[in-house]
Amino acid sequence: MLAGETDLATVRKTLKFIGKEVLYVRLTQEEKNQVSDIEYTYHRQGIKTSGNEIGRIALNVLLADYKAHGEHSILAKILTELHT
Protein backbone atom coordinates (compact mmCIF):
# COMPACT_ATOMS: atom_id res chain seq x y z
CA MET A 1 0.00 0.00 0.00
CA LEU A 2 1.67 3.24 -1.09
CA ALA A 3 0.60 6.86 -1.38
CA GLY A 4 -2.94 6.73 -2.84
CA GLU A 5 -3.46 3.11 -1.77
CA THR A 6 -2.97 3.84 1.94
CA ASP A 7 -6.06 3.71 4.11
CA LEU A 8 -6.02 7.42 4.90
CA ALA A 9 -8.82 7.11 7.44
CA THR A 10 -6.74 4.65 9.48
CA VAL A 11 -3.65 6.88 9.40
CA ARG A 12 -5.77 9.92 10.32
CA LYS A 13 -7.36 8.06 13.23
CA THR A 14 -3.94 6.92 14.47
CA LEU A 15 -2.61 10.48 14.41
CA LYS A 16 -5.48 11.70 16.58
CA PHE A 17 -3.78 9.95 19.50
CA ILE A 18 -0.95 11.96 21.03
CA GLY A 19 2.25 9.99 20.91
CA LYS A 20 4.08 9.70 24.20
CA GLU A 21 6.88 7.39 23.15
CA VAL A 22 10.07 8.89 21.74
CA LEU A 23 11.93 7.78 18.63
CA TYR A 24 14.89 9.93 17.72
CA VAL A 25 15.79 10.10 14.06
CA ARG A 26 18.96 11.74 12.81
CA LEU A 27 18.37 13.63 9.58
CA THR A 28 20.70 15.09 7.03
CA GLN A 29 20.51 18.85 6.57
CA GLU A 30 18.79 18.28 3.21
CA GLU A 31 16.14 16.03 4.77
CA LYS A 32 15.51 18.58 7.51
CA ASN A 33 15.25 21.36 4.92
CA GLN A 34 12.69 19.37 2.94
CA VAL A 35 10.56 18.78 6.04
CA SER A 36 10.83 22.49 6.93
CA ASP A 37 9.78 23.41 3.38
CA ILE A 38 6.68 21.22 3.71
CA GLU A 39 5.84 22.79 7.08
CA TYR A 40 6.23 26.29 5.61
CA THR A 41 4.13 25.45 2.54
CA TYR A 42 1.25 24.23 4.66
CA HIS A 43 1.53 27.10 7.14
CA ARG A 44 1.15 29.53 4.22
CA GLN A 45 -2.07 27.70 3.31
CA GLY A 46 -3.37 28.09 6.87
CA ILE A 47 -2.70 24.46 7.82
CA LYS A 48 -0.68 24.12 11.00
CA THR A 49 1.63 21.10 10.93
CA SER A 50 4.98 20.12 12.38
CA GLY A 51 7.98 17.98 11.64
CA ASN A 52 6.70 15.56 14.26
CA GLU A 53 3.31 15.25 12.55
CA ILE A 54 4.92 14.82 9.13
CA GLY A 55 7.24 12.16 10.54
CA ARG A 56 4.35 10.28 12.15
CA ILE A 57 2.40 10.36 8.89
CA ALA A 58 5.41 9.01 7.01
CA LEU A 59 5.99 6.29 9.60
CA ASN A 60 2.35 5.20 9.64
CA VAL A 61 2.18 5.03 5.85
CA LEU A 62 5.37 2.94 5.85
CA LEU A 63 3.99 0.64 8.58
CA ALA A 64 0.66 0.21 6.75
CA ASP A 65 2.51 -0.68 3.55
CA TYR A 66 4.66 -3.20 5.44
CA LYS A 67 1.61 -4.74 7.12
CA ALA A 68 -0.19 -5.05 3.78
CA HIS A 69 2.72 -6.26 1.64
CA GLY A 70 5.36 -7.74 3.97
CA GLU A 71 8.44 -8.72 2.00
CA HIS A 72 7.09 -6.85 -1.04
CA SER A 73 6.69 -3.56 0.87
CA ILE A 74 8.85 -0.52 0.15
CA LEU A 75 10.47 -0.92 3.59
CA ALA A 76 11.44 -4.54 2.95
CA LYS A 77 12.77 -3.71 -0.52
CA ILE A 78 14.90 -0.81 0.74
CA LEU A 79 16.22 -2.81 3.72
CA THR A 80 17.16 -5.67 1.40
CA GLU A 81 19.02 -3.26 -0.93
CA LEU A 82 20.80 -1.56 1.97
CA HIS A 83 21.99 -4.81 3.53
CA THR A 84 23.01 -6.89 0.50
| Other beta carbons within 10 Å of 77 | 12
pLDDT digits (tens, 9 = 90+) for 29-79: 999 999 999 999 999 999 999 999 999 999 999 999 999 999 999 999 999
Q: Do 35 and 27 form a contact (C-beta atoms < 8 A)?
A: yes
- What's the mean per-residue pLDDT of the chain? 92
What pLDDT is recorded for position 8? Answer: 85
What residue type is 72 in one-letter code? H
| Other beta carbons within 10 Å of 58 | 13
Q: Rounded CA gap, 47 and 4, in Å?
A: 21
What pLDDT is recorded for position 7? Answer: 79
Segments making up each domain of the chain, as ranges: 3-82
**Phi and psi torsions of 62, nearest 5°:** -60, -45
What pLDDT is recorded for position 1? Answer: 44
What pLDDT is recorded for position 27? Answer: 97
